[in-house]
Amino acid sequence: MDKNDILKQERDAAWRKELRGKIKNKERTNIERVKMPEADPTERRRSFIEVNRGLSAEAAMIEASRCLDCANPTCIEGCPVEINIPKFIKNIERGEFLEAARVLKETSSLPAVCGRVCPQEKQCEASCFYTRKLKKPAIAIGHLERFAADFERETGNISIPERASAKNKKIACIGSGPAGLSFAGEMAKRGYDVTVFEALHEIGGVLKYGIPEFRLPNSVVDVEINSLKEMGVKFETNFIVGKTATIDDLKEEGFEGFFVGSGAGLPRFMGIPGENLVGILSSNEYLTRVNLMEANKEDSDTPILKGKRVAVIGGGNTAMDSVRTALRLGAEKAMIIYRRSEQEMPARIEEIKHAKEEGVEFLTLQNPIEYIGDEKGYVRQIRVQRMELGEPDASGRRRPVPVAGSEYLIDADTVVVSVGVSPNPLIPQSLPELKTTDWHTLVVDEENLQTSVPFMFAGGDIVRGGATVILAMGDGRKAAEAMDHQLSKQVENAV
Amino acid sequence: MNKIVSKEFFSENVVRLEIEAPRIAKARRAGHFVIVRVDEKGERIPLTISSADASKGTITLVVQRVGVTSRKLAELEAGDTIADLVGPLGQATDVKKVGTVLACGGGVGVAPLLPIVEANKKAGNKVISIIAARTRDLIILEDQIREFSDEVIVMTDDGSYGEKGLITEGMEKVIAREKIDEAVIIGPAIMMKFASEVTRKHQIPSIASLNTIMVDGTGMCGACRVTVDGKTRFVCVDGPEFDAHKVDFDEMLMRLNGYKDFEKDANERYLKEHQ
């Protein structure tokens, strides 16, 4: 039976029919979209508490009743891991919250994470019938996903997906970020013996070192990692594949399939004069010191520069995370400096809104060209040039062009550079036969995510460059399916 | 894993730790380092692997007590475990047969110098080592350096042991006496700066192993960045060894001082709590 037949069959279940019959579609579409309760901006700007507070059960059930349980649920097409969206939402509508959580786990390894950090407005919610046909605000799919996952966690009734019978095959997963975790979960479900190798001392990749507590608490990530452990996934921290052991070493130890999810963790700098002054750091360093090393806490040995005037260069989510972190570390002035206009900012609209509410200043159409330091080498000023937008470039966004004679100085004692990342070179360096692109991403066949080395698959930012958590998870899931297919075929051939 | 097998004080403030780390012991080459996190609240710091025993599955680190983390490390006893140890990291030393190598080590810089001295000797080079420190107590690993050197010169700033004077004076003497084909310089940044000035003057190709601030040690943050030949490089992945004559040591010194106040405060707090 193909996917669509299963969806149809499930939609025809008696309880779904009954729910559909209960309220008229017209009434459903007249309900207003729920608003996510948020911590008060004046209080939260100095605290690491989570900004979005989650929905109450009542609010979630009302929001769930907006969903029309479409015969052709286009929302699912918008989800990179193809969550059965109507099925989990209708379970919320009828009050079966734990069942809703179980549905999420059928295809997603980290629902509490995705409900918080996915750009739903560009994915599932963009494909919702409300957006597409009714020109009304979409069902708050992300909020509902978060509600179901949080309900399960908070009530302590965590379900562990069923596993196929053990296949007795060892699989190595390189990197424990969203791609790796998704891959590992899928392979464990399929009965493989999976070990995840992580270079840092904590599991989770960007979910731990990058995304701050006020957007994604580490405790939420840990609960989802624990579910994977209970499914039998093994984790080895402080293990750098290619350094601590080579791919060949691991093959000798019996690993048959490899998935590379080592991400794009190398920060880019702009290469402008003064960029190595003290007080100028990459967003990766800034966020790692706070999120992973807890430098904001009294009892941590890791120091952090608590600037009074902090400038963050860039307009992506990482830039927003950095500038909002600066406020929480006590900055009097926290600025975003971005070379295009706000319209072109790659950050989520919600993050920009939250940053503004908290008092972040936006200096758009401006670009740093030099940093000026004091006699001790500490950064004191930024020479900034104003920009205007010219013709669209290859990315389709209008190219920023410097305005002659527009330079001026901004006082700053801390600068966080957040202008992008490059793929991690460790795996390609250790395996020269692995094909890479000019941008140092791994070459994979799009269908199966298989690299030029037959036993190796790859996904997430190491293939895409800097992208999103959910695309990485989608890749992990797709690669698991392909690797399972390949290894099962080998077994058949051997018989 | 990460269990301390043995511990030995070279002097009051310099300690040698032999740690169980079978995979690192097997994979490491001269020049490699590890990142250590002592305990749950600990920071991540880089330490060069001084030696390793692949059959025993251990690596040796040499630590000088200077701040909170090195104090915590020096207080661990045999049988204790280090929370996190990752490596081997960085590029291994490129050791070739070149002729005569002048190996210059300052203070605890002698610990990372040792495997390079050993590798150079084994590659068939004549090795002249100069080990220098402020005072007698800080001279370490002399016997081990002797084992792999054709000649060893010991120097102290105060003349309490070996010859009196700075390492640069010893270097000038050796260079005046015989042809040096390559120099390796490891020690405090200020010592490396002046030692590289000496070899630059005499046009001797020189390698320095840089000890910058690091966080992850895998290239993902750029805390360790330095300017080499006008370009920004990451010490943890591109180094730690670079052409000493192309390193901007002044910038490196400036960046090393970036957290000085924090380090001082943390150290004072720690000492107060542990008295």
In the predicted model, what is the mean pLDDT of residues A326-339? 97
**One-letter amino acid for residue A459 of the chain:** G
Residue burial A239-256, b: 16+ Cβ < 10 Å; e: rest: bbbbbbbebeebeeeebb
pLDDT band at A490 (very low <50, low <70, confident <90, very high): confident
Q: DSSP for B149-213, please give it.
A: -SEEEEEETTSSSSEES-HHHHHHHHHHHS---EEEEES-HHHHHHHHHHHHHTT--EEEE----
Band (A495; pLDDT cuts 50, 70, 90): low
Chain A residues with at least one Cβ partner in B under 8 Å: 199-201, 237-240, 243-246, 265-267, 269, 271, 275-279, 281-282, 284-285, 288-289, 293-294, 299-303, 305, 376-378, 424-426
Do the chains contact at A240 and B215, CB–CB below 8 Å? Answer: no
Tell me the mean pLDDT in the region A285-299: 95
Task: Spell out the SS3 assignment of A343-382.
Answer: HHCCCCHHHHHHHHHCCCEEEECEEEEEEEECCCCEEEEE
- Asked if B62 and B14 touch (Cβ cutoff 8 Å), the reply is yes
CA A92 vs CA A21, A26, A195, B55: distances in Å = 16, 20, 34, 59
- Report CB contact under 8 Å: B222, A267: yes
Q: What is the Cα gyration radius of chain A? A: 24
Chain B residue nearest residue A281, CA to CA = B223
* Closest B-chain CA to A425: B219
| Cα separations in angstroms, A224 against A55, A403, A461 | 20, 49, 21
Smallest CA-to-CA distance from A425 within A262, A249, A271 is with A262
Q: Which residues in chain A have their CB less than 8 angstroms from residue B215's CB?
A: 285, 288-289, 293, 302
Q: Phi/psi of residue B26, each to 5°?
A: -75, -40
- A422 min Cα distance to partner chain B (Å): 9
Give the Cα separation of A244 and A427 in Å (integer): 12
Q: Which of A168, A161, A162 is nearest to A193 (CA)?
A: A168
Interface test with A, best of B220, B235, B263, B267 (most A CBs within 10 A): B220
Mean pLDDT of chain A: 94
> pLDDT (tens digit, 9 = 90+) per residue, A382-424?
999 999 999 888 877 888 999 999 999 999 999 999 999 999 8
Distance separating alpha carbons of residues A100 and A84, to the nearest angstrom: 10
Nearest to A276 among B23, B84, B227 (CB): B227
Give the single-character DSSP code of A73: -
pLDDT band at B205 (very low <50, low <70, confident <90, very high): very high
A10: nearest Cα among A20, A163, A23: A20
Question: Which residues in B lie closer than 8 A to residue A248 (C-beta atoms)?
Answer: none
Model pTM? 0.94
Most B-contacting residue of A301, A376, A417, A421 (CB-CB within 10 A), to test interface: A301
Residues belonging to chain B: 275
Query: What is the ipTM, given to two decimal places?
Result: 0.94
Average the pLDDT over A370-378 and give the result.
96
- The tens digit of pLDDT for each residue in A197-243 reads 999 999 999 999 999 999 999 999 999 899 999 999 999 999 999 99
Size of interface A-B (CB pairs under 8 A): 114
Cβ distance of A293 and B43 shorter than 8 Å? yes
Distance from CA of B41 to the nearest CA of A (A): 5
Higher-scoring residue by pLDDT: B268, A370: A370
